[in-house]
């Protein structure tokens, strides 16, 4: 099914997050409209999700629509939302059969009613699934998430003597039920995080592929996983320290 060795399988990331970039450029290179690229990008989502969970990556997060994407032309945004609705309706049976739980992070109130309803319906239907976890970042921006977390923390009725540390603050983030990402993949050759999981990615490994998202299929995804398994994650320690104490400098989220 894949080209990963037994050693690779023992070192797989627990949580992979992907910035799916390049649909528009992929379409333009073929003389097609941007929505043609987005539609093919959605088809590739099916491939990568299927590959991730068959290999054994329990958490996958996809950056599907950012807060900054709200600045795109209205027809492109509408087309993207229709593709989202179509994807969720089409894939619900597969999500249930494979026991994949869907989550969403981001301000869903900023989505059209039909898209928001499709997301919430799928979240509700899959909430009891426990084997695998798919998270869609929709109308999401990390800076906006942090501001909302600060507001929630300030408004919370809590013991004033509780010290504010990362484990405490992380419980106010939208990713509170997810482990921090181990690997962030960005396609289309761009070297930036684009307001995606900025705090959660503090110690994530980053893999940049020159391929546009519709071309980033099974083999490319497996290559990214293989690259990850060959990296040394030090969490601020030295290599010598890791040989005697391989544990991370701080615990990941549950």
251 inside domain: no
Q: Is residue 254 situated within a structural domain? A: no
- Indicate the number of domains in the chain: 1
The answer to whether residue 154 sits within a structural domain is yes
SS3 content of the chain, % helix, strand, coil (to 5): 45, 15, 40
Residue ranges, the chain, pLDDT below 50: 1, 249-252
pLDDT at 243: 60
Name the residue range of residue 134's domain. 6-244
What's CA 73's distance to the chain center, in Å? Answer: 24
In angstroms, the CA 22 to CA 141 distance is 19
What pLDDT, in 10s, does the model give residues 73-84? 999 999 999 999
Confirm whether 250 is domain-assigned: no
Residues 200 and 181: beta-carbon distance below 8 Å? yes
pLDDT in tens, 42-76: 999 999 999 999 999 999 999 999 999 999 999 99
Sheet holding 59-66, edge to edge: 100-105, 132-140, 59-66, 15-19, 183-186, 205-208
Res 53: pLDDT: 96
pTM for the model: 0.91
**CATH number of the CATH domain containing 78:** 3.40.1180.10
* Active-site amino acid positions: 21, 69
Q: Does 55 reside within a domain?
A: yes
Is 1 contained in some domain? no
């Amino acid at each position: 099914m894949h080209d990963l060795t037994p050693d690779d399988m023992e070192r797989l990331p627990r949580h992979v997050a992907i910035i799916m970039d390049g649909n528009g450029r992929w379409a333009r290179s073929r003389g097609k409209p941007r929505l043609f690229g987005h539609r093919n990008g959605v088809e590739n989502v099916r491939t990568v999700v299927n590959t991730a969970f068959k290999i054994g990556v329990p958490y996958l997060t996809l950056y599907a629509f950012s807060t900054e994407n709200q600045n795109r032309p209205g027809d492109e945004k509408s087309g993207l939302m229709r593709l989202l609705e179509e994807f969720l309706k089409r894939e619900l049976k597969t999500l249930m059969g494979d026991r994949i739980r869907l989550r969403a992070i981001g301000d869903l109130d900023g989505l059209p009613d039909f898209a928001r309803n499709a997301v919430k319906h799928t979240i509700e239907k899959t909430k009891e699934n426990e084997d695998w976890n798919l998270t869609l970042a929709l109308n999401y921006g990390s800076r906006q998430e942090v501001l909302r977390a600060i507001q929630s923390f300030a408004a919370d009725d809590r013991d004033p003597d509780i010290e504010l540390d990362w484990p405490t603050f992380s419980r106010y983030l939208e990713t509170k039920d997810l482990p921090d990402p181990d690997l962030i993949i960005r396609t289309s050759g761009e070297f930036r995080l684009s307001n995606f999981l900025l705090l959660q990615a503090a110690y994530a490994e980053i893999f940049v592929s020159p391929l546009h998202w519709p071309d980033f299929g099974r083999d490319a995804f497996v290559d990214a996983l293989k690259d990850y398994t060959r990296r040394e994650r030090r969490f601020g320690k030295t290599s010598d320290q890791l040989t005697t104490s391989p544990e991370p400098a701080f615990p990941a989220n549950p």
